[in-house]
A and B are shown apart, each in its own frame.
Chain A
Amino acid sequence: MTIQFNDETFRDDYSFRNSDRAIKRFPFPFHEDSYMYSVNMEQHRGGPSGSVYEKRFDVDEHYLSEMRDRAIVLAEDPLRCQSLPHMTLAGWDTLELIMVSKSEDYPDLFELHRDGSRWRWVNKPMGIDHTFTFLDETTLPCGPLEYITRQAQGDYAVLDQRGDMLYMDAGMVTTQADWSLDFDIGMDFFEWHAPVPLAHEMGIFKRALKFLLNVQQGAPARRLNWTMTVNPLLDTSPENYHKWGIQKTTLTPENIGAKQHLRVELQTFYRLPRSNALLFPIRCYLIAFQDIVSVPKWGRRLHRVVRDLPDELATYKGFIANRPMMLDYLSQYDDGLPTSPGVWPDLETEPPLQR
């Protein structure tokens, strides 16, 4: 189907909205009524038709507005996109992967015509028709990683692999859950995850690293992660935390349904062919609490997850202070009925709220 792109903002007046279709395809991250860390990896080889898992790089109704927001962030802070000198080839690998995937998966929106190293890239939604020479940086207006990720939703970390370790050596990071590429660039896998509580002790990162080191070309993987964000703010960066942190205090029982958002990251992992780097796209999806509870199963389950989450995780995810108000709201949508297993909304089979 043709996508109707929204004209919306992720700042100031926050006009971001999810359509009914976007709500139903939202990547709800809880497959059961509780949550704890796990290495929840699976193969990224498509998914149900219309779901966010179907295509390699999901394009949705927020595409154009997210790209506008990214351009604003980069104009204010060019350091959100960085690439250490040895990562240029991985940038070209990334450009190729995204262009090939999008042109194959969305032929009505994107075209890639290749004649040897002479490539023509057509991005119809953004009005781009550009011919350049593959692997020749002088034929692009900026580096290859920046060029293509200004046209692709989600953040992108590019991880170099050396000596059984991954290094955060390049990235485009403007929709992040409170981490700084500028600070973390060059760190190894354990170092950039250092501030995460509990998971190190649980051995999560050791197992995740082992898995990621072995991701092969043509066999990408994926997992979900989540946090909470007040207002549909994509740029929850540490750089701007002194500006957006105060927004957490604006929740009231009256506005929480519209203001409080569940923030879900669809993380995917691709081995890149020339550089042997690992591309780590982190795609952010936002949904207002009032839209989650429109799906009865999700309303029941989100209440139970938020209620039972260990304090350390609620603190790390930044919503410990607002948790009581969140529970007051969400408890209205939990009638105590059991929920079906799995993440899908199951609107046809799950009972409506019994109140």
Chain B
Amino acid sequence: MSTFQFPPSIRSRPVYGTLAPRPGKAHLMIADAEGAEAILSLAGQGPGLMAKTHVIYIPKGTGETYVDQLRALKSAQFYTGPTYAASVQRIRRVLSDAHMGLQVYLAGTEGLMGQAEAEAIAAGIPHSAIQTEHRGSVARRMQCVHCKGITEDVMTDPFTCAHCGLNLFVRDHYSRRLAAFQGVCVDAEDPGNVPEPRELYS
């Protein structure tokens, strides 16, 4: 099991649950990397569930590890995408074609769940109606508050903004609209005095 118990934090920080089947005419499951394990577990709980399900899966670093198992679920539609960016047009199309009663399930890294959630919200689904389950890496999708650039898969605090190069500390303050945590300059008051980066939750 690739699960991680996040410590309690501030009110804007997302909390994740465990996916459970809900009644619905159609189901959309979006997962990346170890998020596949949550989909496999979910599929086992709902007889007939997968026949009404569209699975969108981005393996990230896990390669072929889960692809055959997911395909064996015989979902109504199954798609593997090379990256989230390559998959997002398909996600938008599925959401725009969706009818009342679509159930959305997200699993995997925070960055994947956050971005897919933002798409679902933009399509009119309230965030409270979207199920999420964290699996795999605790890396974060960070927005630099200074240059607004997004750095994906941040594993350390502090880290270097991939765009403007400032040294940023990792806040728990999270924007659902941006699907990103906030990164703020760590050495603004003492330039050059950057703490040694520590792995998140280490």
Contacts and interface: CB of A to CB of B under 8 A. Distances in A.
A40 B185 CA distance: 33
A5 interface: no
Contact of B11 (A194, A242, A244): A194
19 contacts: A182-B148, A183-B143, A184-B175, A185-B177, A186-B176, A187-B176, A194-B173, A195-B171, A200-B10, A238-B184, A240-B146, A241-B145, A241-B146, A242-B188, A246-B188, A246-B189, A248-B189, A249-B189, A249-B190
A190 interface: yes
Given A183-B175, A183-B182, A238-B145, A245 B11 contact: no
Interface of B: 10-13, 143, 145-146, 148, 166, 171-173, 175-178, 182, 184-185, 188-191
A184 B173 CA distance: 9
Interface in A177-210: 180, 182-187, 190-195, 200
Contacts of B12: 187, 190-192, 194-195
Contacts of A185: 177
Interface in A243-265: 243-246, 248-249
B145 A183 contact: yes
Nearest to A180: B145
Secondary structure type dominating chain A contacts: helix
Contacts of A242: 146, 166, 185, 188
Interface of A: 79, 180, 182-187, 190-195, 200, 238-246, 248-249, 321
A219 to B, nearest CB: 29
Contacts of A244: 188
Closest 7 CB pairs of A and B: A245-B188, A194-B12, A194-B10, A242-B185, A191-B12, A194-B11, A190-B11
Nearest to B10: A194
A191 B184 CA distance: 18
A85 to B, nearest CB: 11
A195 B145 contact: no
Contact of A183 (B173, B189, B190): B173
B164 to A, nearest CB: 9
A184 B143 CA distance: 12
A190 B184 CA distance: 21
Contact of B173 (A79, A182, A195, A249): A195
Contacts, number: 64
B146 A239 contact: yes
A78 to B, nearest CB: 12
Given A241-B188, A246-B189, A248-B189, A195 B10 contact: yes
B193 to A, nearest CB: 11
A192 B176 CA distance: 11
Contacts of A248: 189
A79 B143 CA distance: 15
A256 to B, nearest CB: 16
Given A194-B11, A195-B173, 8 more contacts: A183-B143, A184-B175, A191-B11, A200-B10, A238-B145, A239-B145, A242-B166, A249-B190
A205 to B, nearest CB: 9
A213 B176 CA distance: 23
Nearest to B168: A242
B177 A241 contact: no
B146 A246 contact: no
Given A194-B11, A239-B146, A241-B145, A187 B175 contact: yes
Contacts of B148: 79, 182
A190 B188 CA distance: 28
Contacts of A183: 143, 145, 173, 175, 178, 182
Given A239-B146, A241-B145, A194 B13 contact: yes
Contacts of A245: 185, 188-189
Contacts of A240: 146
Nearest to B126: A163
A193 B182 contact: no
Contacts of B166: 242
Contacts of A193: 11
B11 A200 contact: yes
A194 B12 CA distance: 6
A82 to B, nearest CB: 10
Given A191-B12, A200-B11, A249-B189, A241 B184 contact: yes
Given A183-B145, A183-B173, A241 B11 contact: no
A213 B12 CA distance: 20
B85 to A, nearest CB: 22
Contacts of B173: 183, 194-195
